[in-house]
Amino acid sequence: MMDRVLNMKGSKSALGENVRTIVYALGIALILRTLLFQPFHIPSESMVPTLATGDYIFASKFSYGYSRHSLPLSPPIFDGRILGGQPDRGDVVVFKYPRDNRTDYIKRVVGLPGDRIQMIDGVLNINGQPVGHEFVKSLNTTDDFGNRRATQVYRETFPNGDTHIIFDQRKGGPADNTRVFFVPENHYFMMGDNRDDSRDSRYFDAVPAENLVGKAQIIFFSVNENFRLLRPWTWFNFRLGRFFHGVRANAEEL
């Protein structure tokens, strides 16, 4: 009888220890996710060729400080940013879509507070001056729906020297010529690298600094468009060449 009582006490003690371990692990994971790095999945091709549909990235939360959007569910416990740093022109940034403050978007910072931004014949103009727009080559690409199309590849260079690759798939598209956008204080103008297939600040205007979530740093996992979680035979459709690459490295390898 005594042995049985001791065994029951031991089982309860072991169960309690296991529960505490799980709680501690979840607490540490929450702290890491909130303060340091958060994983995100890329669901569309708006940032091709820098990021592909099916990429999984880590974004650094500490790069721009913290706002309510740094926390799960974006609780309205304070306004603005604390310990804030400012994005550089050319950074690839995760932010909350400003029209619902809930949906995660990822784009490149092209306009800083005080800038005037305009697209003219498919070329980005900053403060009345066209940025570097060097033709690289033509590609035949396939979109997420299997459609083949001719794509022009350009190397875009910002005034601060930041260089990256962009896609131009349709000359004279609806966002190739825009009005002049003035970027207000504490706002940033965002655009996708796949210029004709990106819904960005050309459509919803500049993004408040409070909506910034983190800076995209590294692709840690990637699967192709055939991957389906509920179809085990597709689980090995990995893009191994994209694993553990810096966000910029993949586009430069075109």
Q: Are 115 and 131 found together in one domain?
A: yes
For residues 144 and 239, membership in a common domain is answered with yes
Q: Residue 147: its pLDDT value, please?
A: 73
8 vs 169, more confident: 169
Please determine, for residue 6, whether its predicted confidence score (pLDDT) is greater than 50. no
DSSP 166-235: EEE--TT-TTSS-PPEE--TTEEEEE-SBGGG---HHHH-PEEGGGEEEEEEEEEEEB-TT--TT-GGGT
> Taking residues 175-191, what's their average pLDDT?
96
Q: What integer is the mean pLDDT of 83-89? A: 90
Task: Give the residue-averaged pLDDT of 87-95.
Answer: 97
Q: In this structure, are 6 and 74 located in the same domain?
A: no
For residue 61, give both structure tokens.
């939360």
Q: What angle do CA 245, 56, 66 make, to 5 degrees?
A: 95
Do 189 and 64 fall within a single domain? yes
**Taking 50 as the threshold, does the pLDDT of residue 8 lie above it?**
yes
pLDDT in tens, 112-145: 999 999 999 999 999 999 999 999 999 887 766 6
Same domain, 82 and 185: yes
Q: For residue 144, what is the DSSP state?
A: T
The neighbouring-strand residues paired with 238 are 223
Residue whose structure tokens are 């400080």: 65
Contact 164, 175 (CB under 8 A): no
Joined together, the tokens standing for residue 40 give: 């995100």
Residue 61 sits in the same domain as residue 155:
yes
Nearest to 38 by CA among 65, 67, 70, 66: 70
SS3 19: helix
CATH of residue 187's domain is 2.10.109.10
φ, ψ at 66 (rounded to 5°)? -135, 140
Q: Are residues 233 and 147 both part of a single domain?
A: yes
CB 90 within 8 Å of CB 109: yes
**Does residue 206 carry a pLDDT above 90?**
yes
Residue-number span of the structural domain to which 16 is assigned: 1-35
Q: Are residues 111 and 60 in the same domain?
A: yes
The residues, ordered by sequence, that sit 6+ positions from 65 with a Cβ below 8 Å of its Cβ are: 81, 82, 83, 84, 85
* Cis before 184? omega within 30: no
The set of catalytic residues is: 46, 107
Whether 51 and 16 share a structural domain: no
Number of independent structural domains in the chain: 2
Mean pLDDT (the chain) is 85
Helices (H) then strands (E): counts for the chain: 3, 15
Tell me: do 85 and 176 sit in the same domain: yes
Q: Are 76 and 106 within one domain?
A: yes
Say yes or no: 100 and 188 in one domain.
yes
